[in-house]
Amino acid sequence: MSSQAPACQLLERQKDNYTALWVVGPPVDSWLIEQSTGVISGDFDVLGEWQAKGKQARTPFDLAAGEPFGKEIVLFWPKAHQLGIWWLKWLCEQLPEGTPIEIVGEHQGGIKRVPKMLEELGMPWDKRDNARRCSLFATQTVALDLVSGNGASDSAWQQFETAGLTLVSHPGVFGHGKVDEGTLLLLESIENSLPKKPLKVLDMGCGDGIISAWLAQRGHHVTAVDVSAFAVEACKRTLAANGLEGRVLCSDVYSVLEGEQFDCIVSNPPFHKERDISYGPSQRLISAAPKHLNTGGRLILVANGFLPYPDHLQRAFQDFQTLADNRRFKVYGAIKSQR
């Protein structure tokens, strides 16, 4: 079996160096899964792929500080640069000083900026390999300099105020530190149309929890799910920061909600996976929505006007309405009728 992802193809050239490899934030790649002992990732899809092959899989929030997990570590440099810096700080906190780490990534994903980042963090570096438009660097963990502000992965959590709420966000969480215009349009458009009585509501793809907190603030019983462990943690922190309650779960669309039904499903659905467009999760969200709604329950979505959701809604619900349209974004609503 050969690797598919370019960064994994570069790693494959080094495979004789690895006996018990732990990969951090990797893409899903069959060769890499086979080759590695374990994975640490914020993406539950990725963790599931490793678990399905009997490998160890953890989120960074599952591990107690200092809990050991391996000595051969490769960090896949993420699209969100600030998240890459967070992973480096987290690895420095987690592992004994001097533990070797390799960092791999695609040139178009910003790996060439890594040496500068490492220097700023006071970490040594060396270039190991370069092919397939990817580079591989070697470094090692250092004791972080808390005085200069370079330390403490926890300092990456950021708070900001919007829509009457305090939102808590983290690098790698959707829109990190900013509110999405589509989400605001969605909230405006349901402000007066949602019943005032408490509803059982699902926020699908909760991100930092703006929709969940907004709904919980209006007395609704919220379940929030996201495939990202960073988003799940952010949403929990957002609810807590506003003194609100809700159930926040890691889930690939409805995977942990088997048999559950809601009065309302609200979402600003994902249509990207890293840099690629991917309609898979949004299609599953819409097509299985009737199964997860009580009769008379509503699915409410916001999306860029060009996305093909009207077709999906028509197929799943036989009918839908456009509740708002500001030319860039549209808010759609569909009701589960008695069949």
Ligand X SMILES: C[S@@+](CC[C@H](N)C(=O)[O-])C[C@H]1O[C@@H](n2cnc3c(N)ncnc32)[C@H](O)[C@@H]1O
- Write out the residues near ligand X by the rule CB under 6 A: 174-175, 180, 183, 205-207, 210-211, 225-228, 231, 251-253, 268, 270, 281
What minimum distance in Å lies between the beta carbon of 263 and ligand X? 18
Residue with smaller CB distance to ligand X, 85 or 301: 301
Residue with smaller CB distance to ligand X, 120 or 274: 274
87: left (phi over 0), alpha (psi -120 to 50) or beta: alpha
**Rounded Cα distance, 297 and 294, in Å:** 5
Residue with smaller CB distance to ligand X, 134 or 232: 232
Read off the amino acid at residue 57. A
CB atoms within 10 A of CB 284: 17
**Rounded Cα distance, 45 and 279, in Å:** 15
Residue with smaller CB distance to ligand X, 72 or 188: 188
Q: Which of 190, 184, 168 is nearest to 265 (CA)?
A: 190
CA 15-19-21 angle, to 5 degrees, is 80
Residue with smaller CB distance to ligand X, 21 or 156: 156
Residue with smaller CB distance to ligand X, 18 or 279: 279
What minimum distance in Å lies between the beta carbon of 204 and ligand X? 6
What minimum distance in Å lies between the beta carbon of 206 and ligand X? 5
- H-run or E-run covering 145: none
What minimum distance in Å lies between the beta carbon of 16 and ligand X? 36
What minimum distance in Å lies between the beta carbon of 244 and ligand X? 15
Residue with smaller CB distance to ligand X, 48 or 151: 48
Tokens representing residue 309 in the block: 């959701």
What minimum distance in Å lies between the beta carbon of 226 and ligand X? 5
The conformation of residue 43, written as its DSSP 8-state character, comes to B
DSSP character string of 271-312? -EETTEE--HHHHHHHHTTGGGEEEEEEEEEEEETTSSHHHH
Q: How far is CA 326 from CA 181, 189, 191, 259, in A?
A: 10, 11, 16, 36
Which residue, chain included where needed, has tokens 């300099």? 145
What minimum distance in Å lies between the beta carbon of 153 and ligand X? 20
Q: Which of 233, 294, 234 is nearest to 259 (CA)?
A: 294
